[in-house]
Structure 1
Amino acid sequence: MTPSQTLYLLLDLALILGLARVLGAAARALGQPAVIGEIIAGVLLGPTLLGAHLAGTLFPAEVRPLLSALAGVGLALFMFAVGLEIDLGVLRGGGRVTLWATAFSTLLPLALGAALAWLLADSHRRGPLPAFVLFFAVAMAATAFPVLARIIADRGLTHTRIGTTALTCAAITDLLVWILLAVAAAVATGKHLDWRLVLLVPYVALMITVVRPLLRKASELSRRKKAQGTESGGSGESMNVLVLVLVGLLLSSACTEWLGLHYIFGAFLFGTVIPRDGDRTLRDGALQRMEPLSRLLLLPVYFVMAGLKVDLSQLDLADLGTLTAILVVAMAGKLLGAYLGARLGGFGSRPAAALGALLNTRGLTELVVLGVGLELGLLDGTLYSLMVVMAVTTTALAGPLLNRILPAAGKSGTMAGQSAPAGSCAGDGSAREAVPVAVK
């Protein structure tokens, strides 16, 4: 790096951290997730408020690749944390309400999103039409599992039937979203014809049958050494395991990037194969040690880099009409889909509506999806900006909607007659305390 690049990099990082922290705290004070304030911080530092010239002065073109590299590492850590938080055990025995709510809250947004994509294709499409339609549908179906976990925990809903059902639905939906996004990425880049994608199946099998058992053995060995050794020796052994996890995370990300997919899928996959059964030292240790670096430094950089690409200053009436259509489709798909599915599964009217409000939360997950779409050339700048507004709006509405739907909910998050019945998911392993790590 040149001295000028070093200077601007340090100054930009200080500006990003300071503003993101202040606006994140302001959002929390208003009862919103911190991610709302941090996304707004990125937008405020972009051309929307400052104009292209001033934004380019604050973040020179020669420094942005350096910031993007840091943001990429932060994104990999975030996706790893998402993979850790998604327990594949929720796919078994989720119950009737979970099945119906997940199906409707995923399929209806996909269908409505695909229909809207066809209407917007002539004016906003980039790349192959099938990839654009699939990507847009996926963007409408996304639910921010990490943000949702934080909202549920903050409102005392973690051990209620509504909370556990929402977390289970979001986990399954997110898993489907990442799979479909990988397909869209392959179609967009033409990699569906690349011979390397044939290696994806054996790669996943290798991660499950070889890497996962090795990580379990490493965790058990570390635990035994810590029990036998001194406190300082135990700390050093924990660091060795953490380095092992970081190396595996980076290698997995590199592998999926080489296979023709995005590196975030490798990070996500590595998170899902971390052992959860038995001792939780490996999982919890990775979360606790990676969280400060990701949450305090790298993710705010990602927010700002995403915000620098948002320009709302040039919107016209046609664009506002498009934004309205996006918001209507996004909210109708999740709210109506989850409501209908929950009602079919046996929920009452208010709990079903509350479930829809929770699953309508998009947050950082939506930003990741949109960032991939922009990187793949599937979105133009205007549509990307409008979709970011949708992500912020739907996340910000989660709290007010819940307050309207469940006005009698106290700290326990329950309503009269809505405690979890015997045999429901509220009493099983899916009702574990949510751990919001490196997420907002």
Structure 2
Amino acid sequence: MTPEQLQSLFIGLAAILALSRLLGAAARRLGQPPVVGEILAGILVGPTLFHGAPAQYLFPADIRPMLSALANLGLVLFMFVIGYELDLSRLRGKERVAASVSLCSVLAPFALGVLLALHLADRHAPAGHTGFALFIGAAMSVTAFPVLARILADSGLGRTRVGGIALASAAIDDIVAWSLLAVVVTVSGGDGQWRILFAPVYLAVMLLLVRPGLRKLFAARPGRRAGWDGWAQEHVTADQLIVVLGGLLLSCLATEWMGAHFVFGAFLYGAMMPRDTTRRLQHQVTDRFEYLTRLLLLPAFFVVAGLQVDLSHTGLRDLGELGLILLTAITGKFAGAYAGARLNKVPRAQSGVLAALMNTRGLTELVILTVGLQLGVIGPDLYALMVVMALVTTAMAGPLLHLLGRRRGGPEALGDFTFLPKRSETPEPEPLRTPAREG
């Protein structure tokens, strides 16, 4: 790197820190998750405003590959934490209603998304129509678990049963959405598509070697064994973090080599982390991975994503397509989640709350759109419109909950139309831990 490139990189990173912090705080003051402001910051520094002059000054072309590298590292750590926090024990006591809400809120937007893709394909499908249609359907089906958790914490719904159902449904959504994206990646693979045949070997290694190895790694403090009573360590060590990080990078390498995207390797490695350790230990691992990610790496990802969003040439036809995208995304999620809840005799008020929550897309949607753009499944024009959809659907969740609460006598009355379990049913959920990356 030349001295000029280093100076430009330092200026760009300082700008990323300042913009993400400023707009994230502004979003929080407006009752929005900070990720809304951070995504908006990425769009504002892109080519949409002032013919891209701020982007050309702050992020010259010769430092953008370095920013992309930081953004990809942020994605790796983010997806690892998502996989680690995927806790299927949330389903306990609410399996039926959560599965119904989740599957309906995936199938309805997926079907509508495929129909929309047939309309958009002639103009926006760079390659084959099959992969394009599957991708649009998958992108419409996403619910952002981290943003949803933050909204539940801020609204006071985190300890209610409707909040528990929403989190459990979002956990199932994560699995289904990433599975759909894996199918898209396979269908849209390039010349090295034959390498995906090694996927069963990779999964076997993860289940039979990596998962037991990680459990043993965290079983006890170095130099001591776990006792028969299941005693486990309370503090994570630097050596343990190095092993986890090294394994994480190797897992990403494996999935990238197979022709899948590295995000799958990060997500699956996080899912392999042991759940039988103490909750304090799990929080220590995730907090250490999240700290730098939240402060710098993910804001770099937002900027890199925003640099590819150009709305300056948006015409009436583009606005019409944006309207169709928003209509499809919102209608599919609302109708699907509402119908799934009503099928299990959930009252209308609770069903409406669940529908509003499941429509949240946030950063998870941005990750999926970035994967699609990198694979060439969608082009820059459609990518920009879909990013706007992600921003709108994330921002509308809080106001909708406030409106529903006001109709019931005030925002604090949201708890009045949540149904709490009887004492003989499931135990009260543990206090919700707000993911640091959304804070």
1:342 is aligned to 341
> How far does residue 371 in structure 1 lie from its aligned partner after superposition?
0.4
Q: Where does residue 293 of structure 2 map in the other structure?
A: 294
1:236 Cα deviation (Å)? 9.6
- Of 217-226 and 247-256, deviating more is 217-226
- More moved, 134-143 vs 372-381: 372-381
Give percent identity, aligned residues only. Answer: 49
Aligned to 2:67: 67
Query: Which residue is equivalent to 1:21?
Result: 21
Please tell me whether the aligned partners of residues 325 and 386 of structure 2 are also in contact (alpha carbons under 8 angstroms).
Answer: yes
Aligned residue for 1:37, secondary structure, equals helix
Equivalent residue, structure 1, for 2:326: 327
Q: Specify whether residues 278 and 67 from structure 1 end up closer, same or farther in structure 2 by C-alpha distance, changes over 3 A only.
A: closer
Cα distance, 1:226 vs structure 2: 11
Residues 245 and 286 in structure 1, CA contact (< 8 A), matched pair in contact too:
no
Cα distance 1:337–1:422, how it changes in 2: closer, same or farther (>3 A)?
farther
Query: Amino acid of the residue matched to residue 316 of structure 2?
Result: L
Question: What residue is the counterpart of 2:416 in the other structure?
Answer: 415
Q: 1:322 & 1:433 partners in 2: Cα distance?
A: 38
Q: Is the 8 A contact 1:81 1:438 kept in 2?
A: no
Alignment of 1:22-421 (within 5 A): 22-90=22-90, 94-190=94-190, 194-222=193-221, 238-280=237-279, 282-407=281-406, 408=409, 414-415=415-416, 418-421=419-422
CA distance in structure 2 between the aligned counterparts of 1:15 and 1:417, rounded to whole angstroms: 43
Deviations 1:363-393 (A, max 9, x none): 0000001000111111121111110110000
Q: Distance in 1 between matches of 2:216 and 2:76?
A: 24
CA distance in 2, matches of 1:28, 1:226: 45
CA contact (8 A) 1:158 1:434 kept: no
Instruction: State whether residues 98 and 345 of structure 1, in contact with CA within 8 Å, keep that contact through their aligned partners in structure 2.
Output: no
Deviation at 1:428, TM superposition (A): 6.3
Report how far residue 58 of structure 1 moved: 2.4
C-alpha distance in structure 1 between counterparts of 2:60 and 2:177, whole Å: 34
Q: Over residues 176-210 of structure 1, what are the superposed CA-to-partner deviations in whole Å (9 max), with x where a residue is unaligned?
A: 1111111101211246x733212212211221222
For the structure 1 residues 54 and 155, does the alpha-carbon distance in structure 2 shift closer, same or farther, using more than 3 Å as the test? closer
CA–CA distance in 2 between the matches of 1:70 and 1:103?
Answer: 35
Q: 1:393 to 1:224 in 2, by over 3 A?
A: farther
Rounded Cα–Cα distance in structure 2 between residues aligned with 1:160 and 1:134: 35
- 2:125 corresponds to which letter in structure 1? R
Q: Aligned partners of 1:91, 1:47: CA distance in 2, in Å?
A: 44
In structure 2, how many angstroms separate the alpha carbons of the residues matched to 1:237 and 1:161? 32
Give SS of 1:14's match: helix
Tell me, yes or no, if structure 1 residue 4 matches structure 2 residue 4.
Answer: yes
Alpha-carbon distance change, 422 to 262 in structure 1, aligned in 2, over 3 angstroms: same
- Tell me how far apart the structure 2 counterparts of residues 62 and 340 of structure 1 sit (CA, whole Å): 50
> The residue matched to 2:157 in structure 1 has which SS?
coil
Shift of the 5–167 alpha-carbon distance from structure 1 to 2, 3 Å rule, reads same
TM-aligned CA deviation for residue 349 of structure 1: 0.4
8 Å contact from structure 1 (residues 44, 50) kept in 2: no
Residue aligned with 2:436, SS: coil
SS in 2 for 1:345: coil
- CA shift, 1:140, in A, is 0.2
Aligned equivalent of 1:230: none
The Cα of 1:435 is off from its aligned counterpart by 3.9
- Partner of residue 231, structure 1: none
- Normalised by the size of structure 2, how large is the TM-score? 0.93
CA pair 398-235 structure 1, distance change in 2 beyond 3 A? closer
* Deviation sequence 1:108-160 (CA, Å, 0-9, x none): 01000000000100111112111100000000000101110111112221221
Runs of 5+ consecutive residues of structure 2 not aligned to the other structure: 227-232
The code of the aligned residue for 2:378 comes to L
* Cα distance in 1 for residues equivalent to 2:437 and 2:76: 11
Shift in alpha-carbon separation, 1:412–1:38, aligned structure 2, 3 A:
same
Say if 1:354 and 1:406, in contact at 8 Å, map to a contact too. no
**Structure 1 residues 52 and 253: CA distance shift in structure 2, 3 A:** same
Runs of 4+ aligned residues of structure 1 deviating over 4 Å after TM superposition are 90-93, 223-227, 234-237, 408-413, 422-425
Partner Cα separation in structure 1 for residue 216 and residue 396 of structure 2: 44
Q: Could you report, residue by residue, the CA deviation over 1:228-250 in whole angstroms, capped at 9, with x for unpaired residues?
A: xxxxxx99961111111111111
Residue 303 of structure 1: how far off its partner (Å)? 0.3
- Alpha-carbon distance change, 260 to 93 in structure 1, aligned in 2, over 3 angstroms: farther
On the 8 A contact 2:235/2:281 being kept in 1, the answer is no
Q: Name structure 1 gaps, 5 residues minimum.
A: 228-233
User: Cα RMSD over matched residues?
Assistant: 2.3
CA apart distance, 1:422 = 5.2
SS of corresponding position for 1:415: helix
Which AA in structure 2 matches 1:75?
A: L
Distance 1:273 1:235, change over 3 A: closer
* 8 Å contact kept, 1:274–1:283: no
Worse-superposed segment, 390-399 or 283-292 = 283-292
Give the Å deviation of 1:410: 5.8
In 1, Cα distance between equivalents of 2:216 and 2:422: 38
2:236 touches 2:285 (CA, 8 Å); kept in 1?
A: no
**Structure 1 residue 406 displacement after superposition:** 2.5
- 1:23 and 1:37 in contact (8 A); partners too: yes
